[in-house]
Chain A
Amino acid sequence: MSEALAAARGGRWRAAGRRLAAGTATRVAMVVLALITLLALVGPFFSPWQFDQLDWQHLALPPGRLAAHWFGTDRLGRDLFVRTLYGVRVSLLISVLATLVSLVIGVAWGAVAGFAGGRTDGWMMRFVDVLYSLPYLFIVIILTTLFQRGSIRVLLVAIGAVGWLTTARIVRGETLALKRREFIEAARALGVSPAGILVRHIVPNLLGPVAVYATLTIPQMIIFEGFLSFLGLGVQEPKASLGNLINVGAQEMQSAPWMLLTPAAFLVMLLICLNLLGDGLRDALDPHER
Chain B
Amino acid sequence: MLRYALRRIGGIIPTLLVIITISFGIVRLAPGGPFDQEQTLTPVVRANLDRLYGLDQPLTVQYGRYLRGLLHGDFGPSLSQRDFTVTELIAQGLPVSVTVGLGAILLALLIGIPAGIAAASWRNPGADYSLTVWAALAVALPSFVTGPLFALVFALTLHWLPVAGWERGAPRYLVLPVLTLALPVAAYLARLTRASLLEVLRSPWIRSARARGLGGARVLWRHALQPALLPAVSYLGPALAYVVTGSLVVETVFGLPGTGRYLVQGAIDRDYPLVMGMIVVYGALLLLFNLVADLLYGWLDPRVRHE
Contact = CB atoms under 8 A, between A and B. Distances in A.
B145 to A, nearest CB: 5
A42 B254 CA distance: 37
Contact of B142 (A136, A226, A250): A226
Interface string A141-153: 1101110010000
A227 B30 contact: no
A129 B22 CA distance: 13
Given A134-B279, A135-B241, A254-B156, A145 B144 contact: no
A61 interface: no
Nearest to A142: B26
B152 A145 contact: no
Interface string B140-166: 111111011101100010000001000
A149 B269 CA distance: 12
B287 A133 contact: yes
Contact of B30 (A138, A145, A233): A145
B175 interface: no
A136 B279 CA distance: 11
Contacts of B245: 135-137, 227
A138 B279 contact: yes
B19 A133 contact: yes
A114 interface: no
A249 B149 CA distance: 10
B252 interface: yes
Given A133-B286, A145-B268, A231 B156 contact: no
Contacts of B290: 133
A106 interface: no
Nearest to B278: A138
Interface in A112-139: 129-130, 133-138
Contacts of A246: 144-145, 148
A133 B249 contact: no
A36 interface: no
B264 A233 contact: yes
A206 interface: no
Contact of A253 (B30, B140, B148): B148
Given A130-B22, A253-B152, A135 B282 contact: yes
A271 B140 contact: yes
A146 B145 contact: no
Interface stretch (A1-9, A72-80, A260-268): A260-268
B253 interface: yes
A275 interface: yes
A184 interface: no
28 contacts: A134-B19, A134-B22, A135-B241, A135-B282, A138-B23, A141-B267, A141-B275, A142-B27, A142-B275, A146-B31, A219-B140, A226-B144, A230-B144, A231-B252, A232-B264, A232-B268, A233-B267, A233-B268, A243-B144, A250-B144, A250-B147, A250-B253, A253-B156, A268-B140, A271-B140, A271-B141, A275-B140, A276-B136
Given A135-B241, A260-B152, 6 more contacts: A133-B286, A227-B249, A233-B264, A250-B147, A264-B148, A268-B141
Interface of A: 129-130, 133-138, 141-142, 144-146, 149, 219, 223, 226-227, 230-233, 243, 246-247, 249-250, 253-254, 257, 260, 264, 267-268, 271-272, 275-276
Interface of B: 15, 18-19, 22-23, 26-27, 30-31, 136-137, 139-145, 147-149, 151-152, 156, 163, 241, 244-245, 248-249, 252-253, 263-264, 267-268, 270, 275, 279, 282-283, 286-287, 290
